[in-house]
């Protein structure tokens, strides 16, 4: 089959790889119909996540058609059109029972933090991903969800990560009616988080980024205020001033370990790799939320040893909540939101690229060229 192949930092290409096979009675093989590139893939592409191995196929956001099922698969049938959550979850461990599907203990038994993830580094189990023609899907009766009749595949594929992650970011923020919410990062995840903040009753939603085209997109898509961090001087001071000097009720970090905006953090964490990435957005989130506020983190901090102002967390009495999105838990509600028109995920898609051009798609998304918000890859058979 054709599949994306990681060759080292900033180098990916399309290669022929062996077709995946059923390795376990609970597996299914899925023929991919759509697969996205995510900001999380960029951390891999930029060589920042430990144990990202040459030869890996990335891709944790995909839809497809079930081509084959293992002998113990009961719910899924050959021919089903499915969307597949990015978390690989067994469905029966202690964590899955609490609906913490992103923290499954079985799918990534080497680790005690994150569960298995498709197409990520070996720290997330080393499973091959969906930027390919076919993919092996373990625990096939647990994660994959049959795409409801009439739902657009472009909406469905965004229900595998971006929509639940944005929604969970807002949910973890504990947003109450009348709250002011600040979202750092106007990528697909941050824009979706801003959109979802309204659903929880926010009275004011502010998004911060340094890419003008994304701020403009966010203003239209999420109907929020949007500010360029480069023009704010000190973003923390600006946010304090605009919130009666108290700070925001909720701050959401939808940036993660590759934040711009602080020369020292960029130099030490992203250029010289002397600390694990830069935590500038998290820094700003902690410092611009009000005392007793909530910081919700969905930005990924894959590298270890990231420096954050932990003293201020203590002195301000903050609640910080973070996790990988628990996609399966949120899907029923989010499918309803898409079907009723409350959410319009496919509106985030700016680039539809043949799988053959995967290398170009990574370049455009990584370098933020051509007003790119969200690229999806389409195999020729789809
Ligand atoms: N927890 C989860 O389940 C989960 C799921 C998906 C993605 N993620 C993570 O969420 C983050 C966002 O994903 P995405 O796909 O939107 O990525 P993206 O790279 O498209 O967007 C990140 C945005 O942050 C902006 N940015 C950089 N520095 C900033 C700063 N200091 N302040 C404000 N904005 C800044 C960038 O310009 C960019 O627009 C990534 O870290 C990704 O790994 C987490
Ligand atoms: Zn993703
Ligand atoms: Zn589990």
Q: What is the pLDDT of residues 353-362, one digit of tens each?
A: 999 999 999 9
Tokens of 167: 């929604």
Atom of ligand 1 nearest to the CA of 259: 28
| Average pLDDT across the chain, whole number | 96
Q: What's the pLDDT tens digit per position in 67-123?
A: 999 999 999 999 999 999 999 999 999 999 999 999 999 999 877 789 999 999 999
Q: What pLDDT, on a 0 to 100 scale, did the predictor assign at position 195?
A: 98
Provide, rounded to the nearest whole percent, the portion of the chain with pLDDT above 70: 100
pTM: 0.96
Q: What's the pLDDT tens digit per position in 210-219?
A: 999 999 999 9
Tokens of 261: 């905006």
Rounded to an integer, the average pLDDT of 22-29 is 98
Q: What pLDDT, on a 0 to 100 scale, did the predictor assign at position 286?
A: 97
Cα separation, 146 vs 30, whole angstroms: 12
Cα separation, 130 vs 137, whole angstroms: 10
CB count, 10 Å around CB of 290? 19
Rounded to an integer, the average pLDDT of 228-245 is 97
Q: Which helix (H) or strand (E) holds 106?
A: none
Burial class of residue 22, CB neighbours in 10 A (0-12, 13-18, 19+) = middle
Q: What's the pLDDT tens digit per position in 303-321?
A: 777 788 888 999 899 999 9
How much distance in Å is there from the Cα of 39 to the middle of ligand 1? Answer: 6
Q: What pLDDT, on a 0 to 100 scale, did the predictor assign at position 270?
A: 86
How much distance in Å is there from the Cα of 32 to the middle of ligand 2? Answer: 16
Q: What pLDDT, on a 0 to 100 scale, did the predictor assign at position 291?
A: 97
Q: How many residues does the chain have?
A: 382
Residue nearest to atom 13 of ligand 1 (CA): 39
Q: What pLDDT, on a 0 to 100 scale, did the predictor assign at position 307?
A: 80
Q: What's the pLDDT tens digit per position in 123-160?
A: 999 999 999 999 999 999 999 999 999 999 999 999 99
Rounded to an integer, the average pLDDT of 46-58 is 95
Residue pair 123/49 in contact (Cβ under 8 Å)? The answer is yes
Ligand 1 pocket test target in 189, 190, 324, 365 with most atoms within 8 Å of CB:
189
Ligand 1 pocket test target in 43, 117, 164, 209 with most atoms within 8 Å of CB:
209
Q: What pLDDT, on a 0 to 100 scale, did the predictor assign at position 198?
A: 98
Q: Residues with Cβ < 8 Å from 109, sequence gap 6 or more?
A: none
Q: What pLDDT, on a 0 to 100 scale, did the predictor assign at position 155?
A: 98
What are the CA-CA distances from residue 286 to residues 47, 207, 267 (Å)? 27, 15, 21
Q: What pLDDT, on a 0 to 100 scale, did the predictor assign at position 306?
A: 79
How much distance in Å is there from the Cα of 372 to the middle of ligand 2? Answer: 15
pLDDT band at 273 (very low <50, low <70, confident <90, very high): confident
Strands (E), 186-285: 204-209, 225-228, 248-253
């Amino acid at each position: 089959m054709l599949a994306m192949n990681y060759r080292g930092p900033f180098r990916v290409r399309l290669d022929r790889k062996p077709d995946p096979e059923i390795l376990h009675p609970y597996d299914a093989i899925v023929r991919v119909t759509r697969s996205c590139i995510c900001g999380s893939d960029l951390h891999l592409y930029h060589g920042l996540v430990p144990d990202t191995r040459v030869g890996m196929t990335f891709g944790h956001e995909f839809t497809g058609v079930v081509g084959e099922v293992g002998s113990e698969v009961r719910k899924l049938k050959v021919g089903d059109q499915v969307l597949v959550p990015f978390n690989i979850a067994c469905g029966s461990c202690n964590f899955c029972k609490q609906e913490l599907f992103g923290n499954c203990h079985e799918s990534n038994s080497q680790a005690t933090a994150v569960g298995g993830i498709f197409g990520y580094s070996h720290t997330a189990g080393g499973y091959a991903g969906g930027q390919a023609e076919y993919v092996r899907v373990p625990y096939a009766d647990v994660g994959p969800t049959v795409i409801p009749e009439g739902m657009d595949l472009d909406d469905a594929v965004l229900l595998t990560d971006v929509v639940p992650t944005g929604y969970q970011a807002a949910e973890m923020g504990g947003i109450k009616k009348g709250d002011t919410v600040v979202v750092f990062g106007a990528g697909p995840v941050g824009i979706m988080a801003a959109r979802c903040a309204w659903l929880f009753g926010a009275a004011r939603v502010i998004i911060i980024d340094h890419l003008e085209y994304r701020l403009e997109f966010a203003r239209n898509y999420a109907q929020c205020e949007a500010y360029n961090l480069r023009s704010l001087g000190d973003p923390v001071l600006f946010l304090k001033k605009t919130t009666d000097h108290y700070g925001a009720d909720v701050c959401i970090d939808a940036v993660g370990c590759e934040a711009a905006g602080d020369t020292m953090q960029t130099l030490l964490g992203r250029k010289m790799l002397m600390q694990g990435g830069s935590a500038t957005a998290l820094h700003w989130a902690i410092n611009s939320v009000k005392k007793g506020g909530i910081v919700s983190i969905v930005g990924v901090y894959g590298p270890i040893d990231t420096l954050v102002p932990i003293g201020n967390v203590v002195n301000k009495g903050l609640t910080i909540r973070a996790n990988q999105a628990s996609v399966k838990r949120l899907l029923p509600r989010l499918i309803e939101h898409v079907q009723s028109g409350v959410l319009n995920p496919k509106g985030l898609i700016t680039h539809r690229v043949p799988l053959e051009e995967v290398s170009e798609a990574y370049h455009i998304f990584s370098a933020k060229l051509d007003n790119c918000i969200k690229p999806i890859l389409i195999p020729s058979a789809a």
